[in-house]
A and B are shown apart, each in its own frame.
Chain A
Amino acid sequence: MRLIKKLVSMARRRSPWLFHLNTGGCNGCDIEFSACLAPRYDVEQAGILLVGSPRHADILCVTGPVTRGTRAALETIYAQMPEPKVVVALGNCPATCDVFAGSPAIEGPLDRILPVDVYVPGCPPRPHDLIKGVAQAVAILADQQPRDRRIIEGVNQ
């Protein structure tokens, strides 16, 4: 049993599949995200794959503040992902709404809607920071710590 658990944890660490969703950002983060997939950064070397269907994904990468129009889609997509799953907020938009804060069309920030596990700061973040953020999410995925403890630890950091 222990061995299987270890193997599963290893597998989760080595093959995180991402689903990427723009919830109304300026597209800056999405461009940097695409750069991660391109030859220079090539996240596939770590087994990271961009998948087309939320049903296949382990990590939900959200960019953009959550607009009214995208909120329903965001919630559906999150619900469609099978457990275990983690949410990574890419860029400042999902964290605080950034330049869009205060707009009547915005329902964000993201943590009002979903439990967010990792925030990657930057507007947009560098591709390398994105990869580091995803790596942190992967560690969370592999160890499966309960969510609340992580958040408390985050405050202390």
Chain B
Amino acid sequence: MNIFSVLLKNLRMGPATLRFPEEVPYPKGFHGPVKIHTEKCICCGMCAYVCVSGAVRVAEHKDNCEWVYSPGLCTFCGKCVSVCPVEALHMAAKSAPSYFNTKALDEVHLVPYSPCPECGRPTPPVREVLRAKAFKGVAPNVLVKSLICQRCRQKDSQRALVSIQVKGEPPPSRSDK
């Protein structure tokens, strides 16, 4: 096509430009900054493990865990969202505003631990979603173990081992509290 006829066509059709305050609407599934629902998080650290640029960091403390996110480091790839086993993460539908200081956008969220039903020590929370997903089709006497803390679970296993191997009895059963 002749370039001048193209120019004429452009002239006839008018500009394709958006006037400045006008915006292109955000598409569905837009990858904005990552957001967390702390009440869903189980502090597994998968998001921090897969993050290519270290934008998400998970630090475990005594009675809570710290979920730190710097949008300034994020590549908005969505990897963390797809690996989170309990769907605690999602991406905002809008991009972050421009800022004046590099630390301005950083977010710190604390995920509180819940007490272990057995010993009362703070333990990473276990959510129903995870139990339904990870312990599907498991005998109920094993399923109840998913709620207790790591130490209690170890103790339980040792007790079971001792009763089978040493005493020759079936392991003690536990009822759901």
Contact = CB atoms under 8 A, between A and B. Distances in A.
Given A111-B102, A128-B23, A123 B75 contact: yes
B20 A129 contact: no
Interface residues of A, number: 35
6 contacts: A40-B24, A95-B102, A99-B53, A119-B72, A122-B96, A155-B103
Nearest to B19: A45
Interface stretch (B10-18, B123-131, B144-152): B10-18
Interface of B: 15-20, 23-24, 33, 52-54, 70-76, 95-105
Most A Cβ at <10 Å: residue of B95, B101, B103, B105: B101
B17 A39 contact: yes
B102 A101 contact: no
Most A Cβ at <10 Å: residue of B96, B102, B105: B102
A109 B52 CA distance: 18
Interface string A39-77: 111100110000000000000000000000000000000
A126 B31 CA distance: 11
Interface in A108-139: 109, 111, 117-123, 125-126, 128-129, 131-133, 136
Contacts of A126: 24, 95
A96 B100 contact: no
Given A118-B98, A121-B99, A128-B24, 20 more contacts: A39-B15, A40-B16, A92-B74, A92-B75, A96-B70, A96-B102, A98-B73, A98-B75, A99-B75, A101-B54, A111-B102, A117-B100, A118-B100, A119-B72, A119-B98, A121-B71, A121-B95, A121-B98, A154-B100, A154-B101
A129 B72 contact: no
Nearest to B75: A123
A121 B101 CA distance: 11
